[in-house]
């Protein structure tokens, strides 16, 4: 099966082109040449292959590719030589590879230099990123020991033929700083590093320290990207910091973007050293998602406690909220009118929020579940809220009138299933429009609850029906109301969809 790839226009956020390489393994890392070569190739790394594509050409085959040997490891970083697009370098945690592309013959060859701790009789550390030196014929590799490995690119002997490779050899190990280097890049006449302490340092071409930013208390740096526009000082109004040289000249460098390991993105305006948080994304898995009933909005909740509401038509987020440490979002649901949003959390907490501002509707969150709240749903009239947790328990909440105001209140809970609850949903009776509550579990039981006679700490079962003999039910939805009867659709592990009468619970 192929792994689809696409190139996007960053300002409009639209895809420019799309292709599907027919490799059995996924793409590990990708890089595109910059503004100097706008129509030149794109290079990407599946797990064991390096491919160069002419991404502006409609084709299903790369311009060239080369298979990597197993001992090369997983190459998770790759970059073109900005001065010669026919040269590339990539690295895994332990192995650097240098590539030369013979464009005329469509051949990509690589050199695999040897480097061990015996090479310099010192600990080298795991590689993070590598770049080409912008002055000399060298390559620099950053390590998690705070060191730089300097590789010399030796030209081949005078008897050079097209079959001979450029020789590459580790010539120097520079202990740059005490903290592990996570990012290594270059801008103008500086090398730039980011480290595990969130510090950013600038070095000249001789690797002498020029300036650093350590005051922002950031998480480990994962990405640095500098503005494509050159810096233009504004006369005497400029407020650049002084560099660390003896003259103390103003340190002028382009504005840049910082990405950190906790999924945050910052913009640093260097004139005035102004750091602005521009984006917060989930640093952990996303477990909850729900669409607004009539607006083009989608709510997304993550295990790190980040809740975001996006406009999926405009491709922009509307509002977000970060919950306190330890509160991981496990389930989300809008009510039918779309003005409420319910959220269930991994430690059993339930929040009811305003869907526009994400502020709490209840004075305080509810905590009646002993484990993760896996399902949450509102009734059609938004008077009830029901949840299901990992301990096979269903809990019900209701709006009541207190002191002339409508407030949410916990009603009751019941340990109704013996295995995981797969679906939980409200409905209405056809004859009297009373609210119904049903749950479906992996124990093959379809349970309806006596919601009308439910009161404080008392929830009873109205009826129980077995849906399958051998197959396990996966999910349940209401059949569209296109007939006089009311039906339930249940899908099971036997690849079957069953239609049940919602009143008699008989399979049609």
DSSP states along 33-95? --TTSTTS-EEEEETTEEEEE-TTS--SS-SEEEEPPGGG----EEEEETTEEEEEEEE-SS-
Domain-embedded: residue 319: yes
- Residues 230-283 have pLDDT tens digits of 877 666 677 888 888 878 888 889 999 999 999 899 999 998 899 999 888 888
Q: What average pLDDT score do residues 485-489 get?
A: 91
- Residues 277-311 have pLDDT tens digits of 988 888 899 999 999 999 999 999 999 999 999 99
- Residues 424-464 have pLDDT tens digits of 999 998 888 899 999 999 999 999 999 988 889 999 999 99
Say how many C-beta atoms besides its own lie within 10 A of residue 178's C-beta. Answer: 9
Q: Where residue 4 falls among pLDDT bands split at 50, 70, 90?
A: low
DSSP code of residue 166: P
Parallel/antiparallel/unpaired status of strands 209-213 and 200-203: antiparallel
Q: Is the pLDDT of residue 372 over 80?
A: yes
The domain tally of the chain equals 2
Q: Are 229 and 272 in contact (CB under 8 A)?
A: no
What CA–CA distance (Å, rounded) separates 410 from 313?
A: 37
Residue 36 and residue 171 share a domain:
yes
What CA–CA distance (Å, rounded) separates 118 from 135?
A: 28
Residue 169 and residue 295 share a domain:
no
Domain-embedded: residue 505: no
Domain that holds residue 103: 5-175
What are phi and psi for residue 345, nearest 5 degrees?
A: -115, 165
Domain-embedded: residue 407: yes
What are phi and psi for residue 432, nearest 5 degrees?
A: -130, 5
* SS3 state at 113: coil
Domain-embedded: residue 260: no
Domain-embedded: residue 68: yes
Indicate the residue among 121, 148, 175 that finishes a domain. 175
Q: Where residue 484 falls among pLDDT bands split at 50, 70, 90?
A: confident
Structure tokens at 187: 């801008």
Q: Where residue 466 falls among pLDDT bands split at 50, 70, 90?
A: very high
Domain-embedded: residue 437: yes
Q: What contacts 87, CB < 8 A, 6 or more positions away? A: 80, 81, 98, 99, 100, 101, 132
What CA–CA distance (Å, rounded) separates 281 from 288?
A: 14
What CA–CA distance (Å, rounded) separates 499 from 439?
A: 16
Residues in the chain: 508
Domain-embedded: residue 75: yes
Q: Are 356 and 381 in contact (CB under 8 A)?
A: no
Residue 165 and residue 312 share a domain:
no
Short-list 43, 46, 42, CA closest to 26: 46
Q: Are 317 and 311 in contact (CB under 8 A)?
A: yes
What CATH number corresponds to the domain at position 33?
Answer: 2.130.10.10
- Residues 94-140 have pLDDT tens digits of 999 999 998 888 899 999 999 988 899 999 999 999 999 999 999 99
Structure tokens at 496: 């079957």
Query: Which helix (H) or strand (E) element contains residue 119?
Result: helix 117-120
Residue 163 and residue 26 share a domain:
yes
Domain-embedded: residue 502: no
What CA–CA distance (Å, rounded) separates 95 from 72?
A: 6
Q: Are 292 and 298 in contact (CB under 8 A)?
A: yes
Residue 403 confidence (pLDDT): 85
462 burial type by CB count under 10 A (0-12 exposed, 13-18 middle, 19+ buried)? middle
Residue 292 and residue 166 share a domain:
no
Residue 437 and residue 292 share a domain:
yes
pTM score: 0.75
DSSP code of residue 471: S
């Amino acid at each position: 099966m192929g792994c689809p790839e696409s190139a996007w226009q960053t300002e409009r956020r639209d895809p420019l082109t799309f292709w599907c390489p027919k490799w059995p393994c996924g793409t590990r890392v990708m890089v595109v040449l910059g503004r100097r070569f706008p129509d030149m190739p794109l290079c990407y790394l599946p797990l064991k292959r390096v491919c160069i594509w002419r991404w502006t050409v409609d084709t299903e085959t790369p311009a060239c590719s080369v298979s990597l040997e197993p001992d090369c490891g997983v190459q998770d970083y790759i970059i073109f030589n900005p001065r010669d697009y026919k040269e590339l370098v990539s690295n895994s945690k332990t192995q650097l590879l240098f590539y030369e592309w013979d464009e005329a013959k469509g051949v990509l060859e690589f050199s695999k230099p040897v480097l061990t701790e015996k090479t310099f009789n010192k600990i080298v550390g795991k590689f993070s990123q590598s770049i080409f030196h912008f002055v000399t014929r060298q390559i620099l590799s950053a390590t998690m020991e705070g060191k730089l490995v300097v590789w010399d690119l030796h030209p081949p002997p005078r008897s050079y033929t097209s079959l001979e490779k450029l020789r590459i050899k580790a010539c120097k190990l520079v202990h740059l700083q005490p903290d592990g280097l996570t990012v290594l890049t270059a801008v103008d006449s500086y090398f730039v590093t980011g480290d595990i302490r969130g510090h950013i340092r600038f070095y000249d071409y001789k690797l002498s320290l020029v300036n650093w930013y350590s005051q922002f208390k950031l998480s480990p740096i994962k990405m640095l990207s500098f503005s494509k526009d050159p810096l233009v000082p504004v006369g005497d109004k400029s407020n650049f910091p002084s560099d660390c040289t003896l003259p103390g000249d103003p340190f002028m460098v382009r504005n840049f973007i910082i990405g950190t390991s906790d999924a945050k993105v910052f913009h640093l305006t260097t004139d005035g050293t102004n750091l602005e948080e521009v984006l917060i994304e989930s640093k952990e898995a996303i477990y909850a998602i729900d669409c607004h009933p009539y607006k083009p909005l989608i709510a997304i909740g993550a295990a790190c406690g980040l809740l975001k509401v996006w406009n999926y038509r405009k491709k922009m987020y509307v509002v977000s909220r970060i919950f306190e440490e330890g509160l991981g979002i496990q389930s989300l649901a809008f009510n039918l009118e779309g003005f409420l949003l319910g959220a269930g959390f991994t430690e059993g907490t339930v929040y009811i929020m305003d869907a526009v501002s994400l502020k709490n509707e209840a004075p305080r969150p509810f905590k009646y579940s002993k484990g993760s709240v896996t399902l949450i749903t509102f009734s059609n009239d938004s008077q009830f809220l029901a949840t299901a947790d990992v301990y096979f328990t269903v809990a019900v909440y209701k709006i009541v009138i207190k002191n002339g105001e409508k407030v949410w209140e916990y009603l009751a809970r019941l340990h109704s299933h013996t295995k995981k609850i797969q679906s939980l949903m409200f409905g209405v009776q056809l004859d009297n429009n009373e609210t119904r509550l049903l749950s479906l579990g992996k124990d093959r039981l379809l349970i309806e609850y006596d919601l009308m006679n439910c009161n404080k700490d008392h929830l009873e079962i109205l009826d129980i029906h077995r849906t399958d003999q051998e197959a396990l039910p996966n999910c349940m939805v209401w059949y569209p109301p296109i007939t006089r009867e009311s039906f339930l659709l249940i899908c099971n592990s036997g690849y079957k969809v069953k239609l049940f009468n919602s009143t008699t619970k008989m399979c049609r």
